[in-house]
Amino acid sequence: MQENIKDAVLHTWEAAWDRGEVDALDAILHPDYQRVSARTGGAVDAATLKQNILDTRAAFPDLVTTIDHIVVDERGETAAIFWRSAGTFTEELHGVPATGNRVETRGSNFVELREGMIATERVTWDESDLLADVGVPSLGSAFEEAAAVDGAPTTAPSIEDLKGFNRQFITGVTVVTTMDEEGNPRGLAANSYASVSLDPPLVLICVQKSTSTHAPLFTSTHLGINIMSTNQRDTVGVFASREPDKFASVEWHQGPHGSPLIEGSAASVEAEIKERFLTKTHTVFISRVTHAEAADLDAMIYKGGKFYDSAELTQL
Cα 269 from Cα 267, distance rounded (Å):
7
Q: Which residues contact 32 (CB under 8 A, 6 or more apart)?
A: 114, 119
**Nearest distance from residue 207's CB to ligand FMN, in Å?**
4
- Closer by beta carbon to ligand FMN, 82 or else 308: 308
Question: Three-state DSSP class for 75?
Answer: coil
- Closer by beta carbon to ligand FMN, 57 or else 214: 214
- Closer by beta carbon to ligand FMN, 22 or else 301: 301
- Closer by beta carbon to ligand FMN, 117 or else 240: 240
Cα 235 from Cα 263, distance rounded (Å):
11
- Closer by beta carbon to ligand FMN, 207 or else 261: 207
Cα 84 from Cα 275, distance rounded (Å):
27
Which helix (DSSP H) or strand (DSSP E) does residue 80 occupy?
Answer: strand 78-88
- Closer by beta carbon to ligand FMN, 55 or else 180: 180
Residues forming the site for ligand FMN (CB under 6 A): 173, 188-192, 206-208, 211-213, 240-242, 302
**Nearest distance from residue 304's CB to ligand FMN, in Å?**
11
Backbone angles phi, psi at 32, to 5 degrees: -95, 20
DSSP code for 15: I
**Nearest distance from residue 217's CB to ligand FMN, in Å?**
9
DSSP states of 121-168: EEEEE-HHHHHHHHT----SS-SS----TT-PPPP---HHHHHHHHHT
- Closer by beta carbon to ligand FMN, 190 or else 286: 190
How buried is 47 (Cβ within 10 angstroms: 0-12 exposed, 13-18 middle, 19+ buried)? exposed
Residue 46's CB is within 10 A of a number of other CB atoms, namely 19
Closest to 143 (Cα-Cα) out of 68, 34, 59, 22: 59
**Nearest distance from residue 165's CB to ligand FMN, in Å?**
16
**Nearest distance from residue 269's CB to ligand FMN, in Å?**
16
**Nearest distance from residue 27's CB to ligand FMN, in Å?**
44
**Nearest distance from residue 5's CB to ligand FMN, in Å?**
48
